[in-house]
Amino acid sequence: MIKYILSALFAGIAVGYVNNNYGNVFANVWISDYVFTASLIMLLFVMGLAFGIDKESITKLRQTGPRILIIPLSTALGSICAGAIGGLILGISPIASATVSAGYGWYTLAGPMVWQIFGAEWGALGFATNFLREILTIITAPVMRRVDKYAPIASGGATSMDTTLPVIVRYSGSDVLVASFTSGFILTAVAPFTIIAIASLR
């Protein structure tokens, strides 16, 4: 599965590069505004369909109860702390580094927000760091699954509700679908606020 995902990714990069250099502005806008949005909606629809088909999904959610919040809370805390520690190790601002990590893999949010707060260089780092988090989750999901079936969910962060969800379910099993979607949804909802909150500490 991973080889197909990566093949599609690199094919998209190649097509995008060719279009950007030899295409036209209308095509760029049309792809970014409509095709991307439509594909994301379709992905969420399919995963929602899988959730609805699973007769035990609601029962699992009820049985888990408030414990289901442990994964997103642990992921958020771990991401922020790791970002700050990484900043100290690299000799850069731990606050800015933690702010970058507070994107939880949502690179289209983290990049622009961090850019507005800390400047273009940090914005680029915010985009790249969170984008790589998503890609590494897709690549290493089979390995992380051997450590713990919930490990890929934590690695995926906010993307565990959409782009990395199929990979997580594929390798960790359908029983983690509810936990993965819930974790990703919560992290997606809180990411803008944690980015602002951490940045305000500078």
pTM: 0.78
129 assigned to some structural domain: yes
| The pLDDT value given to residue 108 | 87
Q: What is the pLDDT of residues 1-22, one digit of tens each?
A: 666 666 777 777 777 777 666 6
- What pLDDT is attached to residue 86? 95
In a domain, 188, yes or no: yes
Is 95 a member of any domain? yes
Q: How much is the pLDDT for 104?
A: 95
Look at residue 49 and tell me whether its pLDDT is greater than 80. no
- Planar angle of CA 88, 90, 91, nearest 5 degrees: 65
CA separation for the pair 18, 56 (Å, rounded):
46
Q: Which domain holds residue 160?
A: 55-199
pLDDT at position 31 is 65
Look at residue 59 and tell me if it is in a domain. yes
Overall number of domains in the chain: 1
pLDDT (0 to 100) of residue 30: 64
68 or 167, greater pLDDT = 167
Query: Of residues 19 and 148, which shows the higher confidence score?
Result: 148
What distances in angstroms separate CA 38 from CA 35, 45, 185, one per listed residue?
Answer: 5, 10, 19
How large is the average pLDDT for residues 141-145? 92
Q: With respect to residue 83, please indicate whether it lies within any of the assigned structural domains.
A: yes
pLDDT in tens, 72-113: 999 999 999 999 999 999 999 999 999 999 999 999 889 999
pLDDT at position 64 is 64
Instruction: Please indicate, yes or no, if residue 174 is contained in any of the structural domains.
Output: yes
Compute how many other C-beta atoms are within 10 angstroms of the C-beta atom of residue 145.
Answer: 19
- In this prediction, residue 181 carries a pLDDT of 87
Assigned token pair, 130: 């969170």
- Do the domain assignments include residue 49? no
Mapped onto helix, strand or coil, the DSSP state of residue 119 is: coil
Q: How confident is residue 154, by pLDDT bands cut at 50, 70 and 90? A: very high
User: How high is the pLDDT of residue 58?
Assistant: 63
Q: Please give the pLDDT value at position 24.
A: 63
Residue at 9 is within a domain: no
Q: Given a cut of 70, is residue 65 above it in pLDDT?
A: no
